[in-house]
């Protein structure tokens, strides 16, 4: 199984989720999305595996969320993914993607929803 972590090492929750994945004996593909932003195609793959709405990928604090008008409920998933592609700081980290599912892992315990083997590791 491939596990990908969209990671920000400055984020405590992201570091904790990385440690939880490794404690389960899995070495994830770590994407430091602020240094290497995901392409729009990468975001499409991520969105296709989401077990939550695309809107849950958006980070509101310390981002251009308000300035871009992203609270508008009329915006499509494609609009939201375009915004993340243009402004990777909008990605609500950490995001974990497996072969079957993906979700933001905030709080960190939501990791167990898509990676149950991390529970108790």
The whole-angstrom separation of Cα 24 and Cα 17 is 11
* Catalytic sites, residue numbers: 11
Six token digits for residue 47: 């969105």
- CA end-to-end distance (rounded Å), the chain: 17
Six token digits for residue 22: 């490794």
The whole-angstrom separation of Cα 14 and Cα 95 is 8
Alpha carbon 39 to its chain's center: 13
């Amino acid at each position: 199984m491939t596990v990908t972590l969209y990671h920000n090492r400055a984020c405590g929750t992201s570091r904790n989720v990385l440690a939880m994945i490794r404690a389960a004996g899995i070495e994830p593909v770590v994407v430091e999305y602020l240094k290497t932003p995901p392409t729009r195609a990468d975001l499409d793959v991520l969105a296709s595996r989401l077990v939550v709405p695309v809107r849950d990928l958006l980070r509101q604090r310390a981002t251009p969320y308000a300035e871009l008008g992203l609270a508008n409920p009329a915006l499509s998933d494609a609009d939201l993914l375009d915004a993340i592609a243009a402004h990777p700081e909008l990605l609500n980290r950490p995001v974990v993607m497996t072969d079957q599912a993906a979700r933001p892992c905030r709080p960190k315990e939501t990791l167990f929803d898509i990676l149950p083997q991390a529970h108790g590791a």
